[in-house]
Structure 1
């Protein structure tokens, strides 16, 4: 009877130990599944955030106005604001009936005695 009880006790102990190990293994698998799900969630959130930021960045580069119009307006504004100052020297021959017109705030300096000038009645 002692021998039989000994085998029963050993078998019971092995069964209890086996069930506890099985429960521990299931707990570890559940934890690993949860951590894997969290990892996938983080990966999808990061990919989604990256896509949203990429689309937002791309949308800021697109304009309803064509790039050629923007460039043309920028160049015309630059020419409009530019101030050109120059000094011209030399000899210039004009026909006797030629008229010169100056733009607003434009000045011409002539050397004394170099050019006979006639004042037109239409000049202001």
Structure 2
């Protein structure tokens, strides 16, 4: 398996988890590496991804998070539920309304982190 450049940002993203956070959602969780890091911090973590293959890999790896194969735009997230929501290289193909939906799913004082992509010039 090749290098996953998203892993480089995990320590920075973990610093954004608010004190006292209990629930987390990882959008586009892939094989669940970041979701497992959140779970190791004691959070109740839900990972969502539309790709059945990566959800199967995430479930096989275990580590505590709950995984759902679903496009986040169809996930029916409860308003005000999550203390922390992460989107690591997953929002770029989605309409901006997705960000508004995720904002509604945040609990008061919750944090939404978005790690985006930009086109490489080399």
TM, length-normalised to structure 2: 0.20
Q: Which has the higher strand share?
A: 2
Larger radius of gyration: 1
Which structure is richer in relative contact order (CA contacts within 8 A, separation 6 or more)? Answer: 2
Q: Which has the higher helix share?
A: 1
TM, length-normalised to structure 1: 0.20
